[in-house]
Every structure is written in C-alpha cells, then in structure tokens.
Structure 1
Amino acid sequence: MSTLLADRQIEHLMTLHPKGFDLSLDRISRLLERLGNPQDKLPPVIHIAGTNGKGSAAAFSRALLEAAGYKVHVHTSPHLVNWHERYRLAAEGGGKFVADDVLADAIGRVADANRGETITVFEILTAVTFLLFSEHPADAAIIEVGLGGRFDATNVIKNPAVSVIMPVSLDHEAYLGDRVELIAAEKAGIIKQGCPVIVGSQESDAAREVLVSTAERLGCPLSVYGQDFIATGEHGRLIYQDQEGLLDLSPPRLPGRHQFANAAAAIAAVRAAGFELDEHAADKAMTTVSWPGRMQRLPQGRLTELAPAGAEIWLDGGHNPGAGMVIAEALTEQEEKFARPLFLISGMINTKDQTGYFRAFKGIARHVYTVPVAFSDASVPNAELAVRATDAGLSAEPVSSVADALMLLRDTWDHSEPPPRILIGGSLYLAGAVLAENGTPPV
C-alpha cells in the first residue's frame, strides 16, 4: 500500500469504477458541470494528440515556454512511477509535480461531485486536471490526450490555443479502428472550429490527408510539417524553418533523429498559440528538455549496477511498431559512433503488436531477453513474448525479471568484446517499474 494519500484514493476509486476505456464525453461533461466547468477557465491550452511523439511534443512545448519565461501547467498520461507525474503545476523557475495534499484534496472534491455515479477512473483524473489547472495561475496549459481524440476525456476543451496532431499509426485498434485513416479521424476530433492546428511529421499520406482536410473544413489556421515548417540537421545543429525565417539551434537533448521533427512541431505549436519565442529561448529549450522513460540513458542506479561493466543502458516505453522503428533508428545512429552489440530486455502488454515492435530490431539486436511487466495484469507471459520476438526474426529467451536479465548478461559476457548497449523497453509500465526499482523516478 502506498504511503501517498492521493495514491490510496486512486486505488480506492479503481475498486469502485470499471477499468478500461468507455469512449464518450457525456459522463465527464456532467461531472465538470457540477464542478463549475473548470475546463472553461484555463489559461491558453496546447492540446496534443497522436500515436507516437505526444509526450515528446509536450516536453518540448514545456521547455520552450519555460525558457521564454512563461509559467506552464502540463498534463500527461500515463505516469511512470507516481500518479502525481500526470499533473505538473506552474511555478517560478519551472513547473513541479503537484504536492500530495493538493492532489488528494482535488481528487476528493471530484469524487464527491461524481456522487458515486458510473464513470471511468481516467475521467475522474481528467476532471482533476481541469480543477487543478483552473485554480493555480499559469500562462499556458499543455494537455496530452489519453486515447484517440474525439471521445477522449480531455476533449471537452472548447477553444484550444492550438491543436497538435503528432505522428499517427496503428495502435489501440480495438477502440480506434484498424486503418490508419480511421485512427487519424479519431485524432482529428480534437480540432475545433477556427482554432489553429499543427500537423506534425506523418509517415502516412492517408493520415495527413485526413488531418489536413478536417482542419480546412473547420476553417482552422493550419501549419503542416514538411510544407509550412520543417527541421533539418546541419553540421550537428537543428535548423528550424517556417514563414518567419530560420532558427539555428543546438541539437535536442532527447536522442534520435525523430526528435528533430518533434521539436519542430512544438516550436510551431508554441508560436501558433500566440507566444513569443526567440532563438535564444528555443536554443535553451533544446538543451534543457527532459522526458523520462523515452530513450532515457540510465547512467547509475540499483539495476544498472547489475549489468556488465561499462554497459550503456537505455530505457524506452515505446510499445508499437512505429515506436520500434524510431527507437531502432536512434540506436543505429549510436551504433555508427560506437561499435557496441545491442541487447534487448523487453516486456509488453497484450494489447500491443509485439511481433511488429520486435521486427524493427531485426538485424540490429543480437539477442532479446523477454520479461514479465510488473504491476500489469495485461502483461504478455515472458515465454509467449519470446516466441513473438522469434517470429520477428530475433534470437530470444524468457527470463524472470530485468534484474535477472542484466545479471545473466553480466555473467556470460565475453570481455574481449566492447561492453554491450542494452535497451530496456516495450512498455511504459515496464519503464516505470524499472525507474522505481533503479531508484531514479521522474522529477
């Protein structure tokens, strides 16, 4: 049992209300009405949807605004270690995770207003977001969509300062559809009449067409990656370009070439939302941006001490084929600089395309250790996950935990080789468990 009051409240709510998703805005709208419609009393909102890159776009947007001197609230989901991570409240010198007593008080008020009626826990927690963000002053609020867009609980925001759609690919097909254009249509549900829209880098032309046509039909000022704004790498720098001109910036602190496009979408979003952003602030943001559990280097901690001496350990919560591709590309970039063999320690949940995720690492990873995902009843059994990795053309074996995988690798390592590069990934739940066990939770 957690020692945090808010955690205990949420655990209690989970015993009262059904798990999973129930896509509708009726319940949360009724609840918010009883709370005085706090969603209508927010500072300018940057509302972010997409299959991959939502969290990175939120992290870049926060870094950009704070570097420019603005105070910012941020809502993201899911959390990695503590529920409090979902609520970062604006503060001098940079936003801070909500204090336990403040979160507990807000949860209590929302639960009371709900009067025990049928609702999902995510809807209650989203109402908590609006309540907290309306009661604490800020210059901006960054709100990440939970699932989809059209019927996501965050989509009661009537007039966002900007709606941002990051890369769209197949994920949550049971809820959102099994074709990328159907999923794009769900994500496009956050686009509101006449409100600015940023369309981030899209692999799929069909997805891009759905997003652009929706924005045009609703009369929205529209900027599309690759057409109205773009980021390129030149001489180790990030060069951002839009109709206002060029920004010559430090490369993002978040590794992987895909982060150039994510940073560009955030710059475009911050500008479209009406905030002043000069080159100095944008450059500072590239060097200070932080997004735990996404291509995060783990230099020290309780788990890292179990690995072979000199090993380089990365953690990433990406869990679908699109995420697998960008992670594999980022690791391949690293491989070009340092000749280290790559090993995966992977755990996944049963709603994801496990073979599709692993396929991205074919020819790149030497071996996969599959592990159960702690604290998730949807975890794929490690033996079954090893079969999925083998189906994708990888060498794989099941082990009982991340710690056991690291120790097995250490005990069998051939020291005539360079120390290995290790990617722990496949699930945000796994990433959170690893950060907790390693003693390095998000701050």
Structure 2
Amino acid sequence: MSYQELIHQMNQSMLAAESDRVALLRHILDQLGHPESKYHIVHIVGTNGKGSTGTLVGNLLMNSGEKVGHFASPAIHDDREQILLQNQMISETNFVTTYEKIMAKLTVEFDMSSLSIFEWFVIIMLQYFADQEVTWAIIEAGLGGKLDATNAINAPLLTIITHVDLDHTAILGNTIKMIAYNKSDVIKQNTTVFMAPNQTDDTKQVMVNRVIERNAKELIDSSYVSVKIQRENLTGFDLQISSHYLDNVEFHFDMLGEFQIDNLQTVIAVYDWLVQNNFGVGLQSLKETLTTTKIEGRMQVIHHQPTVILDAAHNPDSTKRLISSLKHLYPTENLKFILGFLQDKNYLEMAKLYHTISKEIVVVTPNNSKRALSASRLQKEIPGSQIAVNAQIGLEMLIKQSGPNDVIVVTGSFYTIKEIEA
C-alpha cells in the first residue's frame, strides 16, 4: 500500500489520556524484541523547551560523528518530520516498509486500529532507528510523561526534564507539582537525569524524590552552568560559558529568545557528561552546533521591513517568555500579533498577556478542526481585534497596515504558524 493509504487507515483518535496505553505499547515492543535497546536514548519531557533542547543535543552528537535519530512532534510541514535520521525525515517507502515489518512480527489477532496514529509513529520510529543502526536516538515525549506513548521504552541512557509549567491541565493536573509528578514518571532505573534550570521548588523536589524512588543513577541540575550574555541582537547571542569542562569559553549562539538560554544550560550539562564519560564530543563540535542550529517556529524571522516572526508559544509560560524576549529585542518598535489558539489551552490568560502589550491583533482559527478555538470566540476576549479567514490572510492584512520598522508576530499554536510555514 502507499504511504497515504496507510495513514488514512490509521486511528486518528487522541488516546493519550487512557491509562492502559503504555502497557499495550510495551507488550508490542516485547514482541518486537525491544528495538530501542539497540541504541543509546535521550528521553526528553517537559512543558517547554523540548524541541530546542532535543535539536541541540542531536546536532551536538551528529557533529561529533554519531548517527542520530530524532523523534519530535508536532510536525510543521509533513507528519514524517516527526521521524528524522541525520535531520532528514523518513521516506514514505521506509515508513511503509517498517510498518509492514512490525505487523509481520505481531500476533495474528492484532488490529492496527488498536493504536492511535501517534502511537504508530512512536513504534515505527523505534523500529526504524534500529533498522538504520543509529547510535543515538533523541526521543521527545508528546504529552506529559506517565501516559505518553514514548514512556513504553526501556530505560534510556539519559533523561532530560526541560522547563515544567502549567499546560494540558485537564489531563496532567492543575498544579505544577501534579504536572511535574506526571512527567517524572519517565525516570527509570540506572538512568542519568538532567533538569533544566529555573524550575519551581515543587518540580525540583518531585524530581529528587523520583530519582531516589526509581533508583536512577543521578540527578544533574544544569543550574551550575554559567552563561554570561555579552551581546544580544538579531543575529543571536555572544556568550561566555563556564561549566565543568568549559572555562569562560566564548561562543556565538545563533538563536533568538532569552528562553533559549535555559535550554542551552541544559545542553551544556549534557555536553559535560558526554565529555566526562568519553563519548567523543569536543569543543569544536559544540561550537559548530551553537553557530549552525536553527529551529523552525522558535523566534523565527521570516521577513524584514516589517519584521515577521513565527513562534509556537502555546501556553502562558511560553507566552511570557516570548513577550520578554520581544521587549528586549524590540524595545521601541510597534508590536503586532496574529493569534490562533487551541480551545484546550489556557487561551484566556494568553489573550490577556498579548492584549496588554499590543492593541493591533488579528485573530484566526487554527487549522485543527477538532481542537481549534474559533476566531469569533477569541475576538470576544480581545477588544478591538480583527478577524482573518486564516493566518496567511491575517499576515497580508497586517503587512499592508505596517511600516518598515513594525514587528508582526504569528503565534498561539503550532497549527497557526504551520499555515505560514506552508
């Protein structure tokens, strides 16, 4: 069958909140002989920062000569972007071939519709990476930790906890402590755990307790990494970094957004561990990684005069961090926004945050028929906002209304910025 036919047959339901899913996936991996045991795994969970942290760690390993697979969601252009080998997405042929190989190994009574499409992507990814003989796999959790499909894997070599905050509260809990506990469930025996800086006390305590409970090797708080910003502009950061294996080394970091510094500290902590444990990474590969890594949808400048920025901030925490970075980079410029949210997010708080810094806002309905918040509903929460049919039309509207020094930001959801990326 073709790739399109296979995707069409897959169960499109979102089953992440069902408690028996991980056990089912582990049973499937048992039948497959646990393909994920054939390579080193970095498992990444957290509310914000998974994509940037995962990409940087993956590129660091690739620049050190490793063969790296990377699993991340959601995709921007093509669903196959979720499964990357050396930063190239899986081909349609390899996707179908890997699926057929998996089905041939499973019991006769297994029904493909028993798994959601996201779960299928996880299982196919794990088998594909084994078949391609990757040496490392960077695996980002989709939603939460405890019930996430990626939690079916055997104990990874490394686990990274990025910044934890409120999101998906209906599923994960309505306090940061509850969410941290859910995400900490991915911590497994003999795993080294890294924690991003600037966590709440509740998050820190949950992670400490879980590491002890699960008999993980150690918990490394990346707050020990010192990053001094010498200069920040539209080309990124000039930094001076100190850590266990770096002594006031100067780097250029080719990303925008102060929130990326937290992610960078975590990556440097991983770098230190890799050096300490003789995994062959060096200073040159780190410098190359920081100067060449670019990530779509994270403070991504796509147009000048006026400046147009795409950012996938989709919860209050990432919204606050985005606004802080915009104020720092554009202290006097006129900020305008195109906003499109999902209805299962805390859109009321995000709308309020954007409205406090800008009165020129266009609202749109994201391209997700099941979860999108309608533009008409959002407009009621943002007095004076305009409605556009979609993000692309909204951008055309604001560009016509803007001067060369204005800054237009498209944000609110991956599904909103995808319309512009497309």
**TM-score past 0.5 threshold:** yes
Tell me which amino acid in the other structure corresponds to 1:345. I
The CA RMSD measured in Å over matched residues stands at: 2.2
Q: Distance in 2 between matches of 1:356 and 1:251?
A: 34
Q: Distance in 2 between matches of 1:27 and 1:204?
A: 33
Q: Distance in 2 between matches of 1:109 and 1:247?
A: 50
Q: Distance in 1 between matches of 2:26 and 2:322?
A: 38
Change (3 A) 1:315 1:403: same
Once the two structures are superposed, the pairs formed by residues 223-238 of structure 1 within 5 Å of their partners are: 223-226=220-223, 228-235=224-231, 237-238=238-239
Change (3 A) 1:219 1:39: closer
Matching of residue 377 in structure 1 with residue 356 in structure 2: no
Once the two structures are superposed, the pairs formed by residues 166-185 of structure 1 within 5 Å of their partners are: 166-185=162-181
Shift of 1:84: 1.1
Matching of residue 427 in structure 1 with residue 413 in structure 2: yes
Partner of 1:326: 321
Q: Distance in 2 between matches of 1:282 and 1:362?
A: 39
Shift of 1:356: 1.7
* Number of corresponding residues: 407
Partner of 1:277: 281
Partner of 2:207: 211
Change (3 A) 1:353 1:346: same
Matching of residue 33 in structure 1 with residue 30 in structure 2: yes
Shift of 1:59: 1.0
Matching of residue 157 in structure 1 with residue 150 in structure 2: no
Q: Distance in 1 between matches of 2:103 and 2:379?
A: 42
Matching of residue 104 in structure 1 with residue 96 in structure 2: yes
Partner of 2:386: 397
Q: Distance in 2 between matches of 1:36 and 1:136?
A: 16
- Preserved contact between residue 161 and residue 272 of structure 1 (Cα < 8 Å): no
Matching of residue 352 in structure 1 with residue 345 in structure 2: yes
Change (3 A) 1:239 1:157: farther
Q: Distance in 1 between matches of 2:22 and 2:199?
A: 30
Q: Distance in 2 between matches of 1:220 and 1:389?
A: 49
Question: Which secondary structure does the structure 1 equivalent of 2:362 belong to?
Answer: strand
Shift of 1:79: 0.9
Question: Which secondary structure does the structure 1 equivalent of 2:296 belong to?
Answer: coil
Structure 2's unaligned 5+ residue stretches are: 232-236
Cα displacement string for residues 88-145 of structure 1 (whole angstroms, at most 9, x for unaligned residues): 113xxxx311112111222334456343462322211110011101111222111101
Give the counterpart of 2:306 among 300, 308, 311.
311
Tell me which amino acid in the other structure corresponds to 2:41. V
Once the two structures are superposed, the pairs formed by residues 254-293 of structure 1 within 5 Å of their partners are: 254-272=255-273, 274=277, 275-293=279-297
TM-score by length of 1: 0.86
Partner of 1:18: 13
Question: Which secondary structure does the structure 2 equivalent of 1:263 belong to?
Answer: helix
Q: Distance in 1 between matches of 2:363 and 2:79?
A: 27
Q: Distance in 2 between matches of 1:247 and 1:161?
A: 29
Q: Distance in 2 between matches of 1:158 and 1:410?
A: 50
Cα displacement string for residues 377-425 of structure 1 (whole angstroms, at most 9, x for unaligned residues): 21111011122334xxxx4222222232233224444x5xx43211111
Identity of matched residues, %: 23
Cα displacement string for residues 265-324 of structure 1 (whole angstroms, at most 9, x for unaligned residues): 12222443543332222111111112112221113xxxxxxxxx8211111112100110
Q: Distance in 1 between matches of 2:216 and 2:93?
A: 43
Q: Distance in 1 between matches of 2:386 and 2:113?
A: 46
Cα displacement string for residues 198-248 of structure 1 (whole angstroms, at most 9, x for unaligned residues): 00023422112211222244242221032x334332355323333334352
Partner of 1:440: none
TM-score by length of 2: 0.90
Change (3 A) 1:316 1:191: same
Q: Distance in 2 between matches of 1:367 and 1:117?
A: 46
Tell me which amino acid in the other structure corresponds to 2:385. A
Q: Distance in 2 between matches of 1:210 and 1:56?
A: 24
- Preserved contact between residue 252 and residue 260 of structure 1 (Cα < 8 Å): no
